[in-house]
Amino acid sequence: MSIPGLGQFSSAATTAASAAAASASAITTISLQPFWEYRFEVPFSSSLTIRLLSGTAEKDGTELAPKNPYTFSGTKSKINTWLGCELEVTSDNPGAYDAYTAEHAADESPLVSYLNLHMKLEGLRSTAAKAMNTEAMGPRVLVVGPDASGKTSLAKMLTAWATRMGRQPLVVNTDPTEGILSLPGTLSAAVFATLMDVTTEWGGTPTSGPAGIPVKLPLAYYYGLERPDQNPKLFRSLLSRLAAASTSRLSEDPDVRHSGMVIDSAAVDASKPGDLDILAHIVAEFSANIVVSLGSERVTAELARRFAGQKTSLGEEIAVVGLDKSSGVAERDAAFMQRVREKAIKEYFFGDAKKNLSPGTQNIGFESVTAWKVAEAPDSTSAEDDDDFYDPGATDSVVEKVEPSDMMLNCTLAVMYAGTRDPPDAIRDANVMGFVYITDVDEKKKRLKVLAPVNARLGDRPLLWGSWPEPMVSLLG
């Protein structure tokens, strides 16, 4: 195993290549000094291949293997080095991508504070593993912050560094905007015990095809909406289900229990009490004992005030840690994020450059389909002040049964681990079996054309339909 930041000093030259030089040639050599970063943005229509020639380098906490080519497309990311390195950068379209070198000193790089946080967490994990109490748990870390603060990147770093120390953290995604090992619109959890593929966000979604690294199978619950405030009751209900399943996973495996959790969250706005209420609910449900607030002094102050004197269900103090966001956090506009979602859905069904999948299509009669629709809150603003709306024990349903229609065209629906005769709440709270895509709807003949990863009968499983991710018209284009 390796500790982040330790390794051989690079023998590369100490001067950094400029972004102009990178774009002038299809193959460019980039020399980075200690604590420098190589930041790059690659459009979806192009690719960028990076090889580590000498020294050591990381992407989101995962080490790059020497001489191994890593190809990136449709991404905004960075590679950092603790001790210096030399990179070879190759582009199929030199003028299409944007890249530059960020020159940090050790006392200026936020990565140092992130590494210090990791070492603190590692100490807590070691303490839990050595405790006489066999039920001792490692740290449960919730990462929060406003939009574009680097929450997911930090969660990935903490996860990657933990696995390099031989740990097996349970990673939890409570942000429906993006998926972790699942499609957008879901809340998920998975144990990470092996390295992550640095060319994908979290290693890709599980599919029916072979994988280059061990597949991490997530437990996923379908929310089907973009933001938690669109249906707070459903969101809280699913959080409770996910927390119960995650806690059960911790109790079953000592290695996972001692490693603890890393919890990613949706963007928070300190001016919205509902956002802070959701974070407080996550802390309570997952017994989070460390809240890391990125890039917002106001959010940090509000959370410190809210959790002052509070303890977890295990009797631990709740620590709120404020950290600066990295200056390298890239702004991802709505158009870029839509392309990210489309890419994730395409890869789920058809694979990527490393593997090709052959999904199957089925023509199904309306009478053979049991579909349910996720309902939005009638008024998200007024719902924030309605305590009954937030009651996770309430029995009124937040999904409604619907007949297939043209509105389903080009939509992705979740196949639920439930029976078609189960009550609405059981279907709502079931975990996700997989996804299907509706390619055609014939209302006159009452037929659906459905794309699925495997040819399997759908009639005995209910389908759950939400507005997120949005319809994708180009999947078969």
Query: Does the pTM of the predicted model rise above 0.75?
Result: yes
Specify which residues 449 forms β-bridges with. Answer: 363, 440
Residue listed under structure tokens 């309605």: 386
148 is in an annotated binding site: yes
Question: Measuring CA to CA, which residue among 181, 186, 171 is closest to residue 348?
Answer: 181
List pLDDT tens digits, range 15-66. 444 444 444 448 999 999 999 999 999 999 999 999 999 999 999 999 999 9
Homologous superfamily (CATH) of 110-323 is: P-loop containing nucleotide triphosphate hydrolases (3.40.50.300)
CATH numeric code, 19-102: 2.60.120.1030
Beta-strand (E) ranges in 193-236? 219-222
Residue listed under structure tokens 């748990």: 137
Q: Over range 266-276, report the average pLDDT.
A: 91
Helices 232-252 and 273-286, packing angle to 10 deg: 20
CATH numeric code, 349-465: 2.40.30.330
pLDDT of residue 96: 84
Question: Measuring CA to CA, which residue among 274, 262, 289, 298 is closest to residue 146?
Answer: 298
Q: In this structure, are residues 446 and 367 in contact, taking their beta carbons and an 8 Å threshold?
A: yes
Please report which residue ranges of 253-362 form alpha helices under DSSP H.
Answer: 254-259, 273-286, 297-307, 334-350
The pLDDT-based confidence of 393 (bands split at 50, 70, 90) is: very low
Please report which residue ranges of 55-109 form alpha helices under DSSP H.
Answer: none
Q: Over range 62-89, report the average pLDDT.
A: 95
Q: In this structure, are residues 58 and 118 in contact, taking their beta carbons and an 8 Å threshold?
A: no
Q: In this structure, are residues 4 and 161 in contact, taking their beta carbons and an 8 Å threshold?
A: yes
The pLDDT-based confidence of 132 (bands split at 50, 70, 90) is: confident
Rounded Cα distance, 272 and 126, in Å: 38
152 is in an annotated binding site: yes
Helices (H) and strands (E) in the chain, counts: 10, 23
pLDDT at 344 over 80: yes
Burial profile 78-99: b = 16 or more Cβ within 10 angstroms, e = fewer:
bbbbbbbbbbebbbeebeebeb
How far the first Cα of the chain sits from its last, in Å, is 45
pLDDT of residue 282: 97
Rounded Cα distance, 470 and 407, in Å: 11
15 is in an annotated binding site: no
| 3 state DSSP class of 190 | strand
61 is in an annotated binding site: no
233 is in an annotated binding site: no
φ and ψ at 298, to 5 degrees?
-65, -45
Q: In this structure, are residues 455 and 405 in contact, taking their beta carbons and an 8 Å threshold?
A: no
The set of residues, in sequence order, having a beta carbon less than 8 Å from that of 211 and lying 6+ positions away, is 204, 355
149 is in an annotated binding site: yes
Rounded Cα distance, 188 and 204, in Å: 13
Residue 158 vs residue 384, higher pLDDT: 158
Q: What is the secondary structure of 124-138 as a DSSP string? A: HHHHHHH-SSTT---
Phi-psi region of 226 (alpha: psi -120 to 50; beta: other; left: phi over 0): alpha
77 is in an annotated binding site: no
Residue extents of the structural domains in the chain: 19-102, 110-323, 349-465
67 is in an annotated binding site: no
Question: Measuring CA to CA, which residue among 55, 85, 68 is closest to residue 197?
Answer: 68
For the chain, give the percent of residues with pLDDT over 90: 69
